[in-house]
Structure 1
Amino acid sequence: MRILGIDPGSRTTGFGVIDVVGQNRIYVASGCIKTQGGPLPERIKIILDGIAEIIRTYQPDESAVEQVFVNVNPAATLMLGQARGAAVAALVLANLPVADYTALQVKQAVVGNGHADKEQVGLMVQRHLRLSGVPQADAADALGVALTHAQHSGGIAKKLMEYQLSMKRGRMA
């Protein structure tokens, strides 16, 4: 299975592609879509087109996107949400299943600590995927999202997602 992970941002959107072969997670590609500022509608188009190109190039089977967190700055949160919406739209238009994970879930899955910092996430992504160096922060976050999906996409977690259920404190919610 090939997974595309996305870390959305209005200026920099990270992406990471991994293959899952049995218990192995194999690095395929990662990088960033940079929008170089400008009006938000133009940045949204760059994100949409960029993810569409990544999908054409790497042909993932599934996708996962980091959820937007509520920021103290409502305008920034709104812009981030719109960037995330562009990413999700590109995935849906390509008929890819889309899973959502919070930053806390990604950090917990990749580092084992939901309050890890970006540097720890990058180092653990490097270790999990046996990379020669630490990926750029946004790309590392996107690879972390893909790794999280790989961890959650089998067994009971996948069945719960199919039925739009989730687990909270060991109980179905």
Structure 2
Amino acid sequence: MIVMGVDPGTAITGVGVVEGREGKFTALYYDCIYTSPRLSSSQRLGKIYDQLMDLMERFSPHQVAVEELFFNVNVKTALSVGQARGVVLLAAERKNIQVADYTPLQVKQAVVGYGRAEKRQVQSMVKKLLSLNDVPAVDDASDALAVAICHLNSFKMDSLMKGLS
């Protein structure tokens, strides 16, 4: 199964594509989509959409996992992240790909085993689980990989539970 994990943001959207096969995870791709603050909001969202569509075409993920909006004290930031998240949902819908949502707490729990884990602990586990040489240079890419791993772990558990019933 191939999962595209996304950590949405207007300035930086992290994207990670992970394949889960026989209990082993492999990173197929990870990077960030960057947009310039000089662009209008609609241009920034359009760039995110176009690049996500290209990546979905390139990797043909079976599912997309998106980090849920964590309400920030800064309402303006929360709104822009929500818009970027909406673009992710639209891109997945256009490609007819099922979407799963995970809170930061769920991602940390699935990757580290502790919902209050620190960012560096999550990054370290992402590196280990994917057998990467280094932690991804940008936090957003690492976060996107963590969301994909979370979904693969959750999907595996759901399949296991269905098999028992």
Aligned-pair CA distance for 1:156: 3.2
Q: Secondary structure at the match of 2:20?
A: strand
Aligned-pair CA distance for 1:110: 0.8
Number of the residue aligned with 2:27: 27
Q: Distance in 2 between matches of 1:33 and 1:118?
A: 20
TM-score (norm 1): 0.88
Q: Distance in 1 between matches of 2:79 and 2:147?
A: 21
The answer on 1:144 being equivalent to 2:114 is no
Cα RMSD (Å) of the superposition? 1.6
The code of the aligned residue for 1:22 comes to E
Q: Distance in 2 between matches of 1:119 and 1:154?
A: 25
How does 1:1-173 map onto structure 2 within 5 Å? 1-37=1-37, 38-135=39-136, 136-156=138-158
Number of the residue aligned with 1:164: none
Equivalent pair of 1:152/1:158 in contact (CA under 8 Å): no
Structure 1 gap segments, 5+ residues each: 161-173
Give a deviation string over 1:103-145, Cα, whole Å, max 9, x none: 1100111111211222221111000101000012111000000
| Aligned residue pair count | 160
Q: Distance in 1 between matches of 2:21 and 2:33?
A: 27
TM-score (norm 2): 0.92
Q: Distance in 2 between matches of 1:63 and 1:152?
A: 13
Q: Secondary structure at the match of 2:151?
A: helix
Change in CA separation of 1:156 and 1:58 when aligned onto 2, cut-off 3 Å: closer
Give a deviation string over 1:29-66, Cα, whole Å, max 9, x none: 10000012122111110111110011011111111000
Q: Secondary structure at the match of 1:154?
A: helix
% identical aligned pairs: 40
